[in-house]
Amino acid sequence: MLTLIIIKLITCIAVFAISLGVAAYATLWERKFSALLQDRVGPDRAGPKGLLQPLADGGKMFFKEEIIPNVSNKFLFILGPSLFMLTALMTGSVIPWGKDFTTAGGSIISFQITDINIGVLYLLGVVSIGVYGIMIGGWASNNKYALLGAIRSSSQMISYEIAMGISVIALVITAGGTLSLREIVGQQDAGYANIVYQPLGFLIFFVCALAETNRAPFDLPECEAELVGGYHTEYSSMKLGLFLFAEYINMFISSAVMSAFYFGGYNFPFAQELYNAIGLQEGSIWISLIGFGAFFTKIIIFICVFMWIRWTLPRFRYDQLMNLGWKILLPLSLLNLAITIGVEFLRGNLQL
């Protein structure tokens, strides 16, 4: 029992550290990548090749003056960013980062904090709690820009969550009716990745993930041109840092979810052949680590695509955003669901 607790504690800390580390370096890579796309050099002063830039940014955030507006609700003002950060970090707990491995003692250790059988529901639920962070923060600021940003954010997230949820239902049906992330990833082990069965579903999920993470072209909640800073207008110091940072953690987690759902997670083509060629036994830690590496490669590619899109596309207008969400993505996801049900019914995987 004690060993189990220790192992889970270590996994928790590892996931926490990896999320924060990836998010920190995503902020650097965002700046670097945008520079590359714009024929610039990007940050290269802090440390070798600018690699200490995230530390410098974080240090700056900590040492900035912390301002809490007089007229704001102090408790909610602090709760906002904390909640946003908390939900961002919580989502990492159900993602299977690698295959289980067996220790010399014979106990099985998994690369996952917890495998709950409603993992997908948990993910959607926690992600939608994230809206509260923004809403509370924006409302408690007692600032019209912040309030407008918060309202935009909540309406955007709620609209896109519907299409996202329906595309996930279609995925769950293809995956054989399981809501556990470990099983969804596991069933892609033998056959093709789910993207082959759910290309439209993936597209919808991807667009919704962009909207859920408030990334461009759906970054209306914090659109500088109209709303000063959106929901974080009144925030300063590390509370602002938490908001900005949580966005990158969200990006990391949604990349992880997308690669787990549609691109086979830690599986990769010809994995078994590779393991046989090297001579790795089933249950070896090396298999887990190689799978973890493959998973991470996919995540990083997704993060790059997120950034690539951000630095390519202009922001949607608000009515365009709502049109896209309700008039295009929602019917499309319903169509996708109908087709999926039909096909699965014909294949005999579904009973009346």
Positions in the binding site for another protein (CB under 8 A) = 36-41, 44, 308-309, 311-313
Joined together, the tokens standing for residue 215 give 């990334």
Distance of alpha carbon 250 from alpha carbon 105, whole angstroms: 37
User: Which residue, 268 or 311, has its beta carbon nearer to another protein?
Assistant: 311
CA distances to 63, 163, 270 from 160, rounded to whole Å, are 37, 5, 36
CB of residue 43 to another protein, shortest distance in Å: 12
In single-letter form, the type of residue at position 39 comes to D
Q: Between residues 40 and 74, which has the closer beta carbon with respect to another protein? A: 40
Contact (CB, 8 A) for 30 and 307: yes
Residue 292, token pair as written in the block:
């973890």
Taking the least distance from each CB to another protein, the nearer of 36 and 271 is 36
Residue 102 phi/psi, 5° resolution?
-105, 130
Smallest gap from Cβ 259 to another protein, in A, equals 19
CB of residue 220 vs another protein: minimum separation in angstroms?
A: 16
Which alpha helices (DSSP H) does the chain contain, by range? 2-37, 53-63, 74-90, 119-140, 144-174, 181-186, 199-212, 224-227, 237-262, 271-278, 285-310, 318-322, 330-346
- Of 173 and 324, the one with the shorter C-beta distance to another protein is 324
Nearer to another protein, 34 or 178 (CB): 34
Residue 113 has what DSSP assignment?
A: S
Cα–Cα nearest to 69, from 10, 140, 163 = 140
Nearer to another protein, 105 or 314 (CB): 314
From the CB of 191, what's the least distance to another protein, in Å?
27
**CA–CA dist 171, 196 (Å, integer):** 11
107 in Cβ contact with 153 (< 8 Å): no
Least separation, in Å, of the C-beta of 14 and another protein?
33
Rounded to the nearest whole angstrom, what is the least distance from the CB of residue 328 to another protein in the complex?
Answer: 9
